[in-house]
């Protein structure tokens, strides 16, 4: 067995669902083992900026900041249609009314933040916080609006909040492409053979998880904490799809377009590094 690789992913159900087979040896890993580290996606983004982990989940917006050091894998993505971040507020406002107002975001490097900047470049006052605190911040007035992700998509109406913009829908209408939220990257220094072996193992793991959806139930529940079963199932159903198993040409095009627009807006540094090994 080779030396273990450090592997970062979030405790969100879509990630624990997909990674369960890989970290529990239910698929052929090519002799590789993994020491997993579960963190909020913005924490993972910042760890990748510092080059801490060998393989990790990151926001696609964050990839623009370290693609010289990390290559993208074609498996394990959160990418699709009807799954983008939502801009919400206590009242059904015109987003133009948010000029000069404070908008809560789930982190500087998140795709949610990047989409907000692309959608409304004039909005520049942002308050960073963990994603699960955003709805409370809007409800209590700490923020005038918030960009929500993950399971908040399914629960915000129960908190009396109103959707102002579906940023994923905006992206789809603008580009005709699915919205690339997050993906898996590996250090280029691992080498092409290792990276391809990890990519294949992850793709096999996603296939295993989709064919055996009950296998990871306990593992998912351990990390989902207070999320109820219905929301947990809806979360997995929304964020784990065919793109998760294999990006395909459309998925790759969506990622390239997001990074192209981010570069053009000066929100990520320009890079000639290829996305994939």
Residue 1, pLDDT score: 58
Q: Is there a catalytic annotation at residue 235? A: no
- Please write the tens of the pLDDT for every residue from 153-165: 888 999 999 999 9
Annotated binding site for substrate: 57-59, 111-112
CATH number assigned to the domain with residue range 86-175, chosen from the 4 options 1.10.3720.10, 3.40.50.10860, 3.40.190.10, 3.40.50.11810: 3.40.190.10
- Please write the tens of the pLDDT for every residue from 63-100: 999 999 999 999 999 999 999 999 999 999 999 999 99
Are the beta carbons of 120 and 107 closer than 8 angstroms? Answer: no
In this predicted structure, the answer to whether residue 252 has a pLDDT above a threshold of 90 is: yes
CATH 3.40.190.10 maps onto the chain at 5-80+179-264, 86-175
Cβ burial 137-175 (10 Å sphere, 16+ → b, else e): bbbeeebbbbbbbbbbbbebeeeebbebbbbbbbbbeee
pLDDT bin (cut points 50, 70, 90) of residue 25 is very high
The catalytic residue among 24, 65, 113, 150 is: 150
pLDDT bin (cut points 50, 70, 90) of residue 119 is very high
pLDDT bin (cut points 50, 70, 90) of residue 231 is confident
Spell out the residues 6+ positions from residue 165 whose beta carbon is closer than 8 angstroms to its own.
86, 87, 95, 119
- Please write the tens of the pLDDT for every residue from 172-187: 999 999 999 999 999 9
Residue 172, pLDDT score: 98
Unique residue bearing structure tokens 């997995």 = 236
Residue 112, pLDDT score: 97
Could you give phi then psi for residue 52, rounded to 5 degrees? Answer: -75, -45
Q: Which residue has the higher pLDDT, 211 or 151?
A: 211
- Percent of the chain's residues with pLDDT above 70: 99
**Whole-prediction pTM value?**
0.94
What fold, for 5-80+179-264? D-Maltodextrin-Binding Protein; domain 2 (3.40.190)
């Amino acid at each position: 067995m080779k030396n273990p690789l450090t592997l970062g992913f979030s405790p969100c159900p879509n990630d624990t669902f997909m990674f369960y087979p890989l970290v529990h040896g239910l698929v052929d890993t090519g002799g590789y083992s993994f020491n997993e580290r579960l963190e909020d996606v913005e924490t993972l983004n910042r760890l990748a900026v510092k080059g801490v982990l060998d393989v990790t989940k990151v926001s696609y917006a964050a990839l623009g900041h370290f693609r010289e050091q990390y290559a993208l894998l074609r498996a394990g993505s959160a990418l699709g249609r009807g799954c983008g971040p939502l801009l919400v507020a206590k009242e059904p406002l015109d987003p133009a009314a948010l000029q000069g107002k404070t908008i809560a975001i789930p982190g500087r490097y998140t795709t949610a933040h990047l989409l907000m900047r692309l959608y409304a470049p004039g909005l520049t006052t942002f308050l960073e916080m963990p994603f699960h605190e955003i709805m409370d911040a809007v409800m209590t007035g700490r923020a005038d609006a918030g960009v929500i992700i993950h399971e908040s998509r399914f629960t915000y109406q129960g908190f009396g909040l109103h959707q102002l913009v579906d940023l994923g829908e905006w992206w789809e209408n603008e580009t005709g492409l699915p919205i690339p939220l997050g993906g898996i990257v590996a250090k280029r220094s691992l080498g092409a053979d290792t990276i391809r072996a990890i990519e294949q193992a992850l793709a096999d793991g996603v296939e295993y998880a989709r064919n055996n959806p009950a296998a990871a139930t306990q593992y998912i529940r351990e990390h989902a904490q207070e999320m109820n079963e219905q929301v947990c199932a809806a979360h997995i159903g929304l964020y784990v799809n065919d793109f998760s198993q294999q990006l395909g040409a459309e998925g790759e095009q969506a990622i390239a377009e997001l990074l192209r627009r981010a570069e053009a807006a000066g929100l990520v540094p320009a890079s000639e590094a290829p996305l994939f090994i």
